[in-house]
Amino acid sequence: MIANITPGLTSTSDLDLNGQIVALSASKGRFANPLLQLHQVTGGSGCSPTALGSGVFVRPLWVESPEGSGNLARNTASGTPHEDDGSFKTRRGAVLGVVSPELLALVEANTEPKIAPVDPSNLCVIAASNGCWGKGDTVKEALRKAGAKLGDGTFVAVIHREAYLSDWGSIMTPTYCEVAGRPNVQMVYNSEELRPRLPKAEEMAAQFIAAAKVQA
């Protein structure tokens, strides 16, 4: 993994990041690979060290191709509407530092371009309330990470671990994680429709997750 003490990584404290090759904080789980930390900054108010904003847009140098396969390849996508290049918005605080040409060459030459392929049975619990959300192996853990309790305005569901909550509040499941005949979102608690107490919600979530493992 690339860390903030890795030789060849320059502090961003007084640098403008626009156009720079940077390393982001390491991912966990199946995406934990140094190649996937390498990105090029393409803009954002957080590029300047003196700006009030913290958002920066980045383009990954390496991507999983095809998605879900576990194989990593150089990102050659153009970024046109018909060819998404994987760019996304992050925050300046997620940038560990600017990568030197020497470090870039070292990482690309010595890192296996492979991660674990997707596991379609890798489900988890998501809880969301008041714009905050969290994932966990249990309802209680997801609620804790979301800073939420079962009640009005809260929902809890079982999803694939690589699914996420969009800025518009919708659960987005990557197509490579979908399983025919299995709902992408399996609701456990919804304050408007389904209101089990915590023990029953835990039981429902555990049953959904166990069923996914049997399907696999």
Look up the pTM and report it: 0.86
- For 147-192, what is each residue's pLDDT tens digit? 999 998 999 999 999 999 888 889 999 999 999 999 999 999 998 8
How far is CA 7 from its chain centroid? 26
Helix (H) or strand (E) holding 89: strand 88-91
> What does the domain layout of the chain look like in residue ranges?
9-110, 123-215
Find, among 25, 144, 152, 153, the residue nearest to 91 by Cα.
25
- What is the pLDDT at residue 165? 87
- What is the pLDDT at residue 78? 81
* Band (216; pLDDT cuts 50, 70, 90): low
* Band (213; pLDDT cuts 50, 70, 90): confident
